[in-house]
Amino acid sequence: MSIPETNGIFAAHYLLKEQLSSGRIEEVWKAEDWTAEGAPVTLRLYAPHIRLDHHSLELLQREQEERASLQHPHLLIPSHFGVHQGIPFDAAPLQTQHTLSQAAPLPEREVARLIYQVGSALEYLHTRQPALPHRQINPANIMVDAQGNYLLAVPAFSSQLRTLLHRATGTPLAQGTAYAAPEMFGPHPKHSAASDIFALGVSLYELCTGETPWLGNGGLSLSQGAEIPIISAPYSRILSNLVRACLHPDPEKRPTAKVLVEEANYFLEHGDWKSYGTFGNVTAESIVYKQRTWLWPTILFLLLITALGAAYYFLVWNKPGKDLAADTDVTTSLPVMPAITDSSVADSTPAAAGSIPKEVRPDTLTRRQPSQQPQTNPPQASSPKTRAPSAIKPAPSRPVRPAYPQPTSLEGYLNGLLNQEIPLEVRDRWRTPIKKYFSPDAIIYARMHDAPLGSFGVGEFIDILLSTEEGNSIVIDKIIYDPEEEGAIDEINVSIMATQ
């Protein structure tokens, strides 16, 4: 078995030009393919310095055939596989660009392109029957082609074959701890689509910050109680929320590759992330609040109807009531009026009894009212009996609105926003006094159900509290004040207590 060397010929038609990496498990060479007019290729040689047993070769052959069946524009798949003098190898077109192992930090739009393109490749792998986890997602396995597209290199071999190769070459099996999900350190470790998403989340964090989270200890740190890190400016909080969701300790709560592709596609089409939904500054529940466009128009319509009704009442119904009240006043005062000299009326029994003859019309009584002389008998004119109680009609009563006391502390305001018994329009008016507690760029770190909910601006967090029905109280855990603005809060940690 010949040893590969620079400018040597391998497998009769590959000219080895430059060794790109070296190891006992595999060597990677830049070569020229003479069968393709000297096209540059990447030649990967497996265990080139030992002879593999028959079982390992068969297993490697089956895996390479499975890899060759894959077809996706953002998967880097070898174009040829073979065995030469007992050395398995594969060849793939040489990528003239580079891997992302030293590409950090990437601009946010490039991060979105990476999520879209690599995420689509992962979705393709995860939706196959059976599903095919990648197992080795990290920046070194993400390539950039000549057109600037991101390609995910298909893993060379499975965990089983990798273990066999390490055992055959006598090299220790190094685990990719930095990108390993927390379930890989549990009693039943198993690669899955969710563990791929976790590794992608670690890679995204590294490509934004230039550092691997948890000092390279991966999901092991989460298993020991570490917090999920936050990506700070200049990256948006929504991107930070997306990456944090990928790094969730619970595999069931991580987003799928399909969800990531949809979010990234939205960014590429609109130039910004969704402000709502799973990763948005406003949660999915807040969409209900923002879509309540019928609320204020309905209130204005009801107010208009009420105003028209009140105008109709005073113009149509209230005026006859006043005339009737005046008539009643005159009628009840007639029996005690000494100014009446008509003997036919004064001597009649109905007048003495305090009644009014049928022949006397109300308008006649009204016209006769000025002829009265109350000055001749002031006590009778001022007597309560001379005026009927209905002479002055009381104003219609209005429903009494309940009074909602305005909170006097920040915690009181935040808890009040969750109080569904207080009308929404009342709580919404508390935005201005709440914002006075904070600096303009303040950040609120929130938790719900004992898990991180995300980081939000003050206005965004108010929207969440106005719309959510999953909490009934808030506890302020930590406050950091702005050193440049006295009394203004710069950062605050709060916990939303779930409704029991």
Question: Considering only 221-225, 271-275, 307-311, which range has the smallest mean pLDDT?
Answer: 307-311
CATH code for the domain in which residue 412 is found: 3.10.450
With cut-offs at 50, 70 and 90, classify the pLDDT of residue 182.
Answer: very high
- Is the per-residue pLDDT at 431 higher than 50? yes
Q: Highest mean pLDDT range out of 180-184, 422-426, 447-451? A: 180-184
Tell me what the mean pLDDT of segment 419-430 comes to. 88
What per-residue confidence (pLDDT) applies to 358? 42
Question: Considering only 230-244, 296-310, 362-376, which range has the smallest mean pLDDT?
Answer: 362-376
- Answer yes or no: do 267 and 191 share one domain: yes
Question: How far is 115 from 124, CA to CA, in rounded Å?
Answer: 14
With cut-offs at 50, 70 and 90, classify the pLDDT of residue 113.
Answer: very high
- Answer yes or no: do 252 and 186 share one domain: yes
Contact residues for 351 (Cβ-Cβ < 8 A; gap 6+):
334, 335, 345, 357
How close are the terminal C-alpha atoms of the chain, in Å? 71
- Cis peptide upstream of residue 234 (ω within 30 degrees of 0): yes
Q: Is residue 430 part of a domain?
A: yes
Tell me what the mean pLDDT of segment 52-78 comes to. 82
DSSP 137-152: -SGGGEEE-TTS-EEE
What per-residue confidence (pLDDT) applies to 374? 46
With cut-offs at 50, 70 and 90, classify the pLDDT of residue 433.
Answer: very high
Tell me what the mean pLDDT of segment 160-182 comes to. 70
- Is the per-residue pLDDT at 454 higher than 50? yes
As given in the structure block, the two tokens for residue 46 are 């497996």
- Answer yes or no: do 371 and 409 share one domain: no
Q: Is residue 149 part of a domain?
A: no
Contact residues for 20 (Cβ-Cβ < 8 A; gap 6+):
28, 29, 30, 42
With cut-offs at 50, 70 and 90, classify the pLDDT of residue 418.
Answer: confident
What per-residue confidence (pLDDT) applies to 319? 53
Residues 119-169 have pLDDT tens digits of 999 999 999 988 889 888 999 889 888 888 999 988 765 666 666 666 666
- Answer yes or no: do 316 and 463 share one domain: no
Contact residues for 297 (Cβ-Cβ < 8 A; gap 6+):
none
- Mean residue pLDDT of the chain comes to 77
- Answer yes or no: do 198 and 106 share one domain: yes
- Per the DSSP assignment, residues forming a β-bridge with 89 are 45, 82
As given in the structure block, the two tokens for residue 405 are 């006391």
- Is the per-residue pLDDT at 484 higher than 70? yes
- Is the per-residue pLDDT at 457 higher than 60? yes
The closest of 140, 129, 14 to 69, measured between CA atoms, is: 129
Contact residues for 151 (Cβ-Cβ < 8 A; gap 6+):
74, 75, 76, 95, 117, 121, 142, 143, 144, 145
What per-residue confidence (pLDDT) applies to 208? 94
Q: Is residue 199 part of a domain?
A: yes
What per-residue confidence (pLDDT) applies to 205? 96
Q: Is residue 169 part of a domain?
A: no
- Answer yes or no: do 114 and 212 share one domain: yes
What per-residue confidence (pLDDT) applies to 27? 83
CA atoms within 13 A on the CB side of 139: 21
What per-residue confidence (pLDDT) applies to 463? 83
Question: How far is 137 from 206, CA to CA, in rounded Å?
Answer: 12
pTM of the model: 0.55
- Answer yes or no: do 368 and 307 share one domain: yes
Contact residues for 330 (Cβ-Cβ < 8 A; gap 6+):
365, 366, 368, 369
- Is the per-residue pLDDT at 363 higher than 60? no
Q: Is residue 287 part of a domain?
A: no
CA atoms within 13 A on the CB side of 220: 11
What per-residue confidence (pLDDT) applies to 401? 59
- Answer yes or no: do 125 and 274 share one domain: yes
Number of H helices, E strands in the chain: 18, 13
Question: Considering only 132-141, 374-383, 416-425, 439-448, which range has the smallest mean pLDDT?
Answer: 374-383
Q: 3-class DSSP state for residue 182?
A: helix
Q: Which of 74, 94, 114 is the last residue of a domain?
A: 94
What per-residue confidence (pLDDT) applies to 150? 93
Question: How far is 114 from 264, CA to CA, in rounded Å?
Answer: 9
What per-residue confidence (pLDDT) applies to 43? 86
Question: Considering only 132-141, 310-319, 408-417, 454-463, which range has the smallest mean pLDDT?
Answer: 310-319
With cut-offs at 50, 70 and 90, classify the pLDDT of residue 296.
Answer: low
CATH code for the domain in which residue 30 is found: 3.30.200.20
Q: Is residue 166 part of a domain?
A: no
Q: What angle do CA 273, 276, 280 make, to 5 degrees?
A: 60
Question: How far is 1 from 60, CA to CA, in rounded Å?
Answer: 19
Question: How far is 333 from 21, CA to CA, in rounded Å?
Answer: 118
Residues 69-82 have pLDDT tens digits of 888 999 988 878 88
What per-residue confidence (pLDDT) applies to 197? 96
What per-residue confidence (pLDDT) applies to 355? 43
Question: How far is 20 from 230, CA to CA, in rounded Å?
Answer: 35
Give the total number of structural domains in the chain: 4
Residue span of the structural domain in which 7 resides: 1-94
- Answer yes or no: do 81 and 109 share one domain: no
Question: Considering only 180-184, 307-311, 387-391, which range has the smallest mean pLDDT?
Answer: 387-391
Contact residues for 156 (Cβ-Cβ < 8 A; gap 6+):
26, 44, 46, 90
CATH code for the domain in which residue 250 is found: 1.10.510.10
- Is the per-residue pLDDT at 385 higher than 60? no
Tell me what the mean pLDDT of segment 302-323 comes to. 69
What per-residue confidence (pLDDT) applies to 66? 79
Q: Highest mean pLDDT range out of 167-171, 220-224, 263-267, 371-375? A: 263-267
- Is the per-residue pLDDT at 253 higher than 70? yes
- Answer yes or no: do 129 and 107 share one domain: yes
Residue 87 in contact with residue 46, Cβ under 8 Å? yes
What per-residue confidence (pLDDT) applies to 288? 35
- Answer yes or no: do 413 and 487 share one domain: yes
Q: Is residue 462 part of a domain?
A: yes
Q: Is residue 247 part of a domain?
A: yes
- Answer yes or no: do 273 and 330 share one domain: no
Give the residue carrying structure tokens 């303040």.
442
Tell me what the mean pLDDT of segment 50-56 comes to. 77
Tell me what the mean pLDDT of segment 187-213 comes to. 93
